[in-house]
Chain A
Amino acid sequence: MLSTRRSTDVATGVFLAALGLTAVAASTGIDAGAGGQLHPRTFPMILGGLLVIGGASLTIQAGFAKSGGDKTVAWPDRRGWKLMSIAMAGLAIYVALSQTLGFIISSLIFVPWYIRYYGRYSHLLAWSCALGVAAFIYLVFVRLLQLTLPIGPLSFLG
């Protein structure tokens, strides 16, 4: 399932055409606004329409291609999928945690976890890197560049 170039191109074409169709449908609800020679929906609608045509063309072209369709897509194996998904989940948790704990504490959790999980390095190395990253965030982003980053419970440092 979706292992060859032909099948992935067919599926991608269908997805893009559906996306284009959604954009066209959503564009019909755009208000007229004041002024302007053209309606604000003009561009989104044209682009949505072109995406429908483009997606359909890709599907048809891939479906009827005489050569190259059987080339396999370099999808990861089961272990690769697992590693990739865990990295993605780790990033999502990092973003979610940053909203409450701030970037410094979240980095102190995320960085050593990633180093340990993917590199199997020692706790000492992982925590040293995490402390270095946290110090860099505080000294460069917060103090030097004066960015108003959320730092959660460490807000007394700001």
Chain B
Amino acid sequence: MEAWSSLLEGFSAAITPYNLLFALIGCIAGTLVGVLPGLGPTAAIAMLLPLATLLDPAPAIIMMAAIYYGAMYGGSTTSILVNIPGEASSVPTAMEGYQLTLQGRGGPALGISAIASFAAGTLGVVGLTFFAPVLSRAALAFGPPEYFALTFLGISLVISLSGRSLGKGLLAALLGLLTAMVGLDPLTGVARLTFGSLELMGGIEFVPIIMGLFAISEILVNAEKQTRYIFEGKKIEWLPTWQDIKDTWAATTRSGILGFFFGLIPGCSPAVTSFMVYDLEKRFSKHPEKFGHGAMDAVAAVEGSNNATASGGFVPLLAFGIPSGPALAVLLGGFIMFGLQPGPRLMQEQPALLWTIIASMYIGNVILLILNLPLVGLWARMALVPFPILGPMIAVFTLIGAYSLRYSFFDLWIALLFGVLGYLMRKLEFPVAPMVLATVLASMMETSFMQSMTLSHGSLLIFFTRPISAAFMLLTILSVVSGMLLIRKARAKNIELEDSDS
């Protein structure tokens, strides 16, 4: 009851034209950086921090929060239309959404993505409104063994999705993990696998890897075939049908709930949520055969989970001052800039500000839906642009995105190298997804493993004696066993399993 009245007061403050204006600016900036490959919300919030200093705390934080969740909306656009996932969490969207674009259904996929983002994002804000203090305590139960078990589960789920290419999926994951080992050891700072190269000392960033594996290899494949249009048909659909919405609402709800819970875990990459949700939807879908060939419910689930994770991330931030990712760490910097320290004291001392920010997130989600749905038709027309015109633009914006991460030309050469690798992986039927997720999670996996070993004095039993970690390990074993059984069953019946890689 108390939450309701506080929320209403928050709405009355958030709905003032001044606060609405900055929510709108944040949403537009977030959507823009989300659409541009490589540019994440972290950079966008950091860029707008100087502007934020000129404002009052409420509009400034409303704007920065809107950039954060706005970027989640925009991230799906290039993934669906041109197969460029700007972030690792958008990789499953690219795998399914691009296939829908090739079928002339890019518009409906973008529409479903916006609707799922709105619905699941709002679901996440509801969770933030009513359950924040209770859930944030549960999230703190996550220690190094739980993080290791979670990353292990994430990678095993993606490998098990490789269908008949299970062995190749495993090899792709190993290659991804090994790639991420290049650079400085995260705990001791010792150089590893750098072969004396200064550039390699900085490690290999996963964004140029993703850009290469998806965007550059896409350009190479289309150059080889001299593709005229990515969508060869004449008729293109602009908006989702009611049937699309009906078919995807359950996936959106499930992913919204799951995404919110994963968002609570500090440091948990949104990529884990995306891939887990994708895996779960494939297992529970009424038509798993569509996965890998354009499954609308997969797009809804992944995009929904992204936005719910973004909302969930505000729980540990507001309740304890713990940012669950780099973007929220910059946002925390925004709070501190105004002399505010998120945590229990902020909840007691500045409840009006806190509830204004929470209420603005409901409004922000509506603004983003209104902004994004009319743009769907415009974006979907991209499929009608001839590939010889679209291709060089994809290359230029992808490479600039990869460069802007560390302002390093080395990252561009890495993107090109992985472009060739991605091209070969397509030809040799190696799934790309396990490699991407392994690269993203390698650092967290290794660090949490090392820390767990220190905690347990070198005993591996620590992963099986703590309840949450043991549950994740059990799920890992089940996913591997079920994946192997599925292959055996298919081989026995001489049925080809569908590949899930793009």
Contact = CB atoms under 8 A, between A and B. Distances in A.
Contact of B388 (A12, A61, A74, A119): A119
Nearest to B496: A68
Contacts of B392: 110-111, 114-115, 129, 133
A116 to B, nearest CB: 9
A40 B188 contact: yes
A154 interface: no
Given A31-B190, A36-B454, A95 B412 contact: yes
Contacts of B143: none
A23 B178 contact: yes
Contacts of A110: 392, 395-396
B353 interface: no
B168 interface: yes
Contact of A141 (B187, B192, B400): B400
A40 B187 contact: yes
A61 B165 CA distance: 12
Interface string B162-176: 000001101100110
Interface in B151-209: 167-168, 170-171, 174-175, 177-178, 181, 185, 187-193, 195
B223 A40 contact: no
Contacts of B224: 76, 80-81, 83-84, 87
B3 to A, nearest CB: 38
B181 A47 contact: yes
Given A37-B454, A40-B185, A119 B420 contact: no
Interface string A5-27: 10011001000100110010011
A34 B223 contact: no
Interface stretch (B240-248, B402-410, B465-473): B402-410
Contacts of A30: 185, 190-193
A73 interface: yes
Interface of A: 5, 8-9, 12, 16, 19-20, 23, 26-27, 30-38, 40-41, 43-44, 47-48, 50-51, 54-55, 57-58, 61, 73-76, 80-81, 83-84, 86-88, 91-92, 94-95, 98-99, 103, 107, 110-111, 114-115, 118-121, 125, 129, 133, 137, 140-141, 145-149
25 contacts: A12-B430, A16-B175, A20-B178, A26-B193, A30-B191, A33-B188, A38-B458, A43-B449, A51-B174, A54-B171, A54-B174, A58-B167, A83-B224, A84-B224, A87-B391, A91-B219, A91-B419, A95-B399, A111-B396, A118-B387, A121-B389, A133-B392, A145-B39, A145-B44, A147-B400
Interface of B: 32-33, 36, 39, 43-44, 47, 167-168, 170-171, 174-175, 177-178, 181, 185, 187-193, 195, 216, 219-221, 223-226, 228, 386-389, 391-393, 395-396, 399-400, 403-404, 407, 409, 412-413, 416, 419-420, 423, 427-430, 446, 449-450, 453-454, 457-458
